[in-house]
Structure 1
Amino acid sequence: MTIFQNGHLKVRKLEKKDKFLLAKWLSNPKVLEFYEGRDNPFDIVKIEREFYLPEDNEVRCIVEFDGNEIGYVQFYQLDEETQKAYGYTTENVYGADQFIGEVAYWNKGIGTLLVSSMVRYLTEEVQAKRVVMDPQTRNKRAIRCYEKCGFKKVMLLPKNELHEGEYQDCWLIEYCT
């Protein structure tokens, strides 16, 4: 089922067969350097456990470009506890995470197209008032991409994410309508 499309870019709901793509991408050290960690590769069992839970509220999707499956994106409404921790009230705030798993598609502007298209979908179709993400401060390429898409740094989250055995600082970034 297609969630949204923008030219050559298409985002569709995750299907059972996609577990093999996720296992391929999430066992690649280049992808894991910034997503999950190189010391934390995924096999099929871990993919099924982490990505195919019926009870969570995340919308999990595969990213296609020119008909090729190249990445992953998920989005979700922030729960009340997380909204409070970030200083939000009862607004309609969504979070998102994504990666391009096919390294050959890096540095071609596709990430920027994906993030800007996702923001447009969330703000126009889902009526999100804000979209937030929390990239690691050392992930300069991703942060540049997000800033090109209109995100602003709003809060440093010290030692927010365990990554390769060390807690990493992250930025809380937001896109506000």
Structure 2
Amino acid sequence: MIRYRSNPLTVRRLTRFDASMLHKWLNDPEVLRYYGGRDRAHTPEMVQEHFYPEEDQLYRCILEYEGQPIGYIQFYLLEAEGLNYFGLDESEGTRIFGTDQFIGEPTYWNRGIGKQLMSSMLRYLEEEHQASRVVMDPQAWNERAIACYEKSGFRKVKLLPEQEWHEGEKRDCWLMEWRAGAAIL
């Protein structure tokens, strides 16, 4: 069971009871602007399909701030398919994790919580999962998220042209990475 605490944050495993909260977040146009697209509001069935699959290799978690659920984070060990998606070579390391996250409560945006989340998760992945690298691919236009990740110790590695479908078009993303041994800010 995952339960990681870094005051005032707690990251805990997603439960069935979180489905209605995910549905709420993934119907908020402000949240969808950055996660999924405003043209992809989720039905309850889509939440079940996307976040609760029967076979799952992802660690799906809820972010709590002072006990209040405010966001979502998932992380996963990259295997051949994931390495290929990011354009990475299998020889580049054996413990490379991917991560995706969002703060679903906009009142908690711009308060440094994203940086705190990423810094604590990097520590967790390095210490508990022996991660050698952690990668992600934020959309290139999302400067606020990219700045947050850079403050957490990630660096831009390469531009991934037309990597992700978002609001009716293919968007460029940045492959960003953090390497074990790098300072966790």
TM-score band by shorter chain is: over 0.9
Shift, 1:88, TM fit: 4.4
Where does residue 88 of structure 2 map in the other structure? 86
In structure 2, what is the equivalent of residue 173 of structure 1? 176
**Percent identity between the two aligned chains:** 51
- Is the partner of 2:23 in helix, strand or coil? helix
Deviations 1:36-75 (A, max 9, x none): 0000001211100110012120010000001100000000
Matched, 1:123 2:146: no
C-alpha distance in 1 between matches for 2:70 and 2:128: 24
TM-superposed CA distance for 1:2, in Å, is: 4.4
Moved over 3 A (4+): none
Aligned to 1:71: 71
1:124 Cα offset (Å): 1.1
Q: Matched residues in 2 for 1:60 and 1:169: separation? A: 25
Partner of 2:104: 101
Three-state SS of the structure 2 residue aligned to 1:5 is: strand
Q: 1:48 to 1:59 in 2, by over 3 A?
A: same
Provide the rounded CA distance (Å) in 2 between the counterparts of 1:81 and 1:66: 37
Q: Tell me the equivalent position of 1:29.
A: 29
For residues 115-166 of structure 1, give each alpha carbon's deviation from its aligned partner in whole angstroms, at most 9, with x where no partner exists.
1111110011100000000000000000000000100111110000000010
Gaps of 5+ in 1: none
Give the superposition deviation at 1:82. Answer: 2.8
Task: Report the aligned-residue RMSD.
Answer: 1.1
Counterpart of 1:149 in structure 2 is 152
TM-score for the superposition, normalised by structure 2? 0.93
Distance 1:34 1:16, change over 3 A: same
Partner of 2:13: 13
Aligned-partner Cα distance in 2 for 1:45–1:80: 29
Aligned-partner SS, 1:175 = strand
Answer with 74-83 or 23-32: which moved more: 74-83
Provide TM-score, normalisation by structure 1.
0.97
Count of matched residue pairs: 177
Query: Aligned runs of 1:35-50 on 2, under 5 Å?
Result: 35-50=35-50
Q: Is the 8 A contact 1:63 1:71 kept in 2?
A: yes
How far apart in 1 are the matches of 2:160 and 2:177? 13
8 A Cα contact 1:2 1:10, kept in partner: no
Structure 1 distance, partners of 2:127, 2:2, is 16
- The answer to whether the 8 Å contact 1:73/1:98 transfers is yes
